[in-house]
Amino acid sequence: MQVEELLKPFPIKEFHPFPRAMLGPGAHELIGPEAKKLGFRKSLIMTSGLRGTNIVEKIAESMKWHGLDVVVYDEVESNPKDYNVMDAVKLYQENDCDSFVSIGGGSSHDACKGARISVAHDGRSVNEFEGFNQSENPKNPPHIAVSTTAGTGSETSWAYVITDTTTDPDNPHKYVAFDDTSVTTLAIDDPVLYYDCPVDYTAQCGFDVLAHASEPYVSRLNFAPSLGNALYAVKLTAENLRQAVWNGQDLAGREGMMYAQYIAAQAFNSGGLGIIHSISHAVSAFYDTHHGLNNAIALPRVWAFNMPTQYKRFAELAAAMGVDTYGMTDVQAAEAALAAAIRLLRDVGITERFVDVKKDTYSKNRLGEGPTKFYENAGVITGDDKDVDRITNHVLGDACTPGNAKECTFETVRPVVEHCMTGDLDDLLS
């Protein structure tokens, strides 16, 4: 069912599946016996490498100790590319693997989901499965997803995001695929694994959570089973993100964000997203910047854009974020929610405009080399008229856009994108 169909009057709304999950300190130590119980014999581990943490090595050794064979693909890039997926598929097939384990954040999990879909279809390009439930074979290899960040919730959702590098380098395409068959077999969330997550990534991933939670809460889908999780995930993020960022060894803060990211993903899984994510996808398509950072920059602008359609819902977000809304009108409380989000962004030290994102923080990829040279001429984010226009057009074609609280056209969305590029957040508060 397409998002556009869900928005028709009196729709039958669709609730998508979740995997079995193990959550809590020490959960990752159970991967060996759990994999064995699921019938794993030879697994392909997909990861970005997480070099310097010893997490991948520890999990691989645990699996080996339990009699399982492992093959490691440790070259998944941020904003995973189609070639990451297809390289892993080739390695899986060459080594006669029968299962997958992804270790990391959303990039590792998303690339692994795409690889499973491809393997189930005899190695067809992952790009053929863009869209909604495009896979034809309902059976694909089992998959355990082990999270090392509190962000995407990909370990529990039916979505995965891939950059298609076969497109025109001047008009790159990053897409969301939604597929019930991509849902993992087992999700493992262990806050102890978050201890090594750097300060900046912790903050940026936290705003991915806030986007995941707030967008379904105000979405036009208005899906009742998602609203409770969405609101509680906002509350958990507001209560725990600062502590998780600035005192990363604090178990309570890390565990709070673990639950926040998990239930926020369950909220958007059926409740939809909006143009916070569409803008993020567009900017990373052109510049390969971090998804959570993009969401953080876009979120206050999109909240301000959407607020006139959902003052009451935004007022409820304010209360969830700890604002004392007693005596406020819905409009006043909604504006207080926006102020609280900006305060949180500044408290955790996130860059406020795309033009201020430093080039050396962009993702490391191999697209500037070899035959593709996909990002060779990308340069730094300029925020000029051409930049704003092309990103706006990408936003309008994104699968997350139809669920946005407010109707989106080029004329209405372009100023939002432009403000993300060069605007001052204080302007939103005046």
pTM to 2 decimal places: 0.93
Q: Measure the CA–CA gap between 149 and 335, rounded to whole angstroms.
A: 30
pLDDT-wise least confident of 39-48, 301-310, 355-364: 355-364
Residue 132 pLDDT > 70, yes or no?
Answer: yes
Q: Is the pLDDT of residue 375 over 80?
A: no
Neighbours of 406 (CB within 10 A): 18
Calculate mean pLDDT across residues 403-428: 97
Instruction: Give pLDDT, residue 369.
Output: 46
Q: How far is CA 383 from the centre of its chain?
A: 24
What integer pLDDT is reported at residue 370 of this predicted model?
A: 38
Residues 23-42, mean pLDDT to the nearest whole number: 96
Collapsing DSSP to helix, strand or coil, 66 comes out as: coil
Yes or no: say if 181 and 88 are a contact pair by the CB < 8 Å rule. no
Domain ranges of the chain: 12-195, 199-246+270-429
Q: Which CATH number fits domain 199-246+270-429: 2.60.120.10, 3.40.50.10490, 1.20.1090.10, 3.20.80.10?
A: 1.20.1090.10
Q: Average pLDDT in the 168-195 region?
A: 92
Q: Which of 240-254, 282-296, 352-366 has the lowest mean pLDDT?
A: 352-366
Q: In this model, does residue 312 exceed pLDDT 70?
A: yes
pLDDT band at 85, cuts 50/70/90? very high
How large a percentage of the chain has pLDDT more than 70? 93
Residues in the chain: 430
Sequence-distant (≥ 6) Cβ neighbours of residue 197 within 8 angstroms: 148, 149, 150, 205, 248
Alpha helices by DSSP H, listed for 199-352, are 199-218, 224-246, 251-271, 275-287, 291-306, 311-320, 330-347
**Whole-Å CA distances, 350 to 169, 206, 295, 345, 423:** 29, 11, 11, 6, 15
Does residue 45 surpass a pLDDT of 80?
yes
Residue percentage of the chain with pLDDT more than 90: 86
Whether 372 shows a pLDDT value over 60: the answer reads no
Mean pLDDT, range 392-414, rounded to an integer:
95
Structure tokens at 290: 């971090």
Closest CA to 75 of 30, 107, 52: 107
Q: State residue 359's pLDDT score.
A: 67
Q: What local confidence, expressed as pLDDT, does residue 1 receive?
A: 46
User: What is the reported pLDDT for 7?
Assistant: 63
- Which token pair is 131? 């869209």
Q: What is the pLDDT of residue 171?
A: 79
Q: Quote the distance between the C-alpha of residue 257 and its chain's center.
A: 14
Residue 371's pLDDT band (cuts 50, 70, 90): very low
CB atoms within 10 A of CB 222: 18
pLDDT at 209 (0 to 100): 98
The Cα 189–Cα 31 span in angstroms is: 11
Distances (CA, A) of 283 to 171, 201, 316, 425: 11, 17, 30, 19
pLDDT at residue 378 in the model: 55
Is 10 a residue whose pLDDT tops 60? no
- When comparing pLDDT for 364 and 342, which is higher? 342
Q: Is the pLDDT of residue 130 over 60?
A: yes
Give the C-alpha separation, 274 to 279, whole Å.
9
Quick one: average pLDDT of 134-141?
Answer: 94
Give the Cβ contact number of residue 36 at 10 Å: 14
| CB-based contacts of 206, cutoff 8 Å, min separation 6 | 150, 151, 237, 241, 244, 245, 257, 260, 292, 348
Amino acid at 119: V
Domain 12-195 and domain 199-246+270-429 have a common topology = no
Contact 338, 429 (CB under 8 A): yes
Helix, strand, coil % (nearest 5) of the chain? 55, 10, 35
Taking the domain 12-195, which CATH number applies?
3.40.50.1970
Query: What mean pLDDT value characterizes the chain?
Result: 92
| Res 149 pLDDT > 70 | yes
pLDDT digits (tens, 9 = 90+) for 259-298: 999 999 999 999 999 999 999 999 999 999 999 999 999 9
